[in-house]
Amino acid sequence: MARGRKRKAGKRHPSGKLVQPRLEETQREVMSTVLEARQRHFGVSERQAKDERLGTALGRLAFVGAITLSQYAAGELYGETMARHRAVVGLPLAQPRSVTGLLINEGIFGGGEPVHDPELIDRIRKEAAAATLVLSDADRDMPAGTRRGPSLLVHSLVCYDVDAALWSAADLKWLGHGLDALAKLYRIRLDSS
């Protein structure tokens, strides 16, 4: 009877140590897995699966043409603004992308509070307040009785990556209205396509 744990399968060095795969091979394998999953899940070709917009809910709307390129750019800038605001104010990330991000948010590891320049904090707070105000103004344009306004739709799509594939035409219309308002704030030229 053999003692200890079962020997792992794989190529070995003459010393008996397992041969570790090269970093390039593992990255290539990971990318091929991601591309295959995107092809299966979104029903796109191999070339289309390489489009980085498929990685976010906002990007997928831009990919299928539900929002314009200027609206997509405005949504990206809004996401960056809100992420910077959360970081500077000391709030955890809205949606950590990894376990490490989650552990850092919860204070389990990853250093203490960063010290920010007061002018930087003030500038970022003003940017976030301006974006929030613009979306609040867009909410006021809605008719009475509408369930979800542009501020809620934009924030949930951009900051929380809520999938909008099954949103109604009215929700997409108000999402576009909010993104257009942000595009004006960020001085992005509005395109009609």
Mean pLDDT by 10 residues, the chain (193 residues): 80 87 74 90 91 92 95 96 88 62 54 73 95 96 84 95 92 95 93 59
pTM, two decimals, is 0.75
- DSSP letter string over 9-32? PS-B-TTSPBPPPPHHHHHHHHHH
Q: Is 132 in contact with 85 (CB distance < 8 Å)?
A: no
User: Which tokens is 106 given?
Assistant: 């919860």
User: Which tokens is 34 given?
Assistant: 């991601």
Return the pLDDT at 66: 95
Map tokens 């539900």 to a residue.
66
Return the pLDDT at 105: 54
How far is it, in rounded angstroms, from Cα 154 to Cα 141?
15
What distances in angstroms separate CA 175 from CA 103, 106, 142, 148, one per listed residue? 33, 32, 11, 9
Return the pLDDT at 91: 77
Return the pLDDT at 100: 56
